[in-house]
């Protein structure tokens, strides 16, 4: 089944097309983003401080862990299929 034309699906982000090293904020709202795609951004965006994910139906088991993460603000909202969420980010001060 194809996603509606007004939706975006991110299963495996293109690794060679973009340089994410300077990305500080990422907001994904009503996007079909997989656990692996979120983990890709976390590992390839060393300066990422803000991550917002709203209404993703693809998330199911998400791990946001790492002593080197710069993440300060995390929002995971209305991801209804999310069954497991593990967070260990030393700089995190806002988690919604």
Print burial letters for 41-72: b (CB count within 10 Å at least 16), e (below 16). bbeebeebbbbebeebbbbeebebeeeebbbb
Residue 1's pLDDT is what?
44
Domain chopping of the chain, boundaries: 8-14+21-95
Residue 96's pLDDT is what?
75
**Rounded distance between C-alpha atoms, residue 69 and residue 54, angstroms:** 21
> pLDDT digits over 4-57, tens only?
445 556 665 555 556 788 999 999 999 999 999 999 899 999 999 999 999 999
């Amino acid at each position: 089944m194809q996603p509606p034309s007004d939706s975006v699906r991110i299963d495996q982000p293109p690794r060679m097309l973009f340089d994410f090293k300077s990305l500080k904020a990422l907001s994904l709202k009503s996007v079909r983003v997989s656990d692996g795609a979120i983990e890709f951004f976390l590992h390839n965006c060393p300066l990422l401080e803000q991550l917002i994910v709203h209404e993703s139906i693809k998330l199911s088991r998400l791990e946001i862990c790492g002593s080197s993460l710069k993440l300060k603000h995390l929002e995971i909202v209305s991801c209804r299929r999310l069954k497991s969420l593990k967070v260990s980010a030393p700089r995190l001060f806002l988690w919604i």
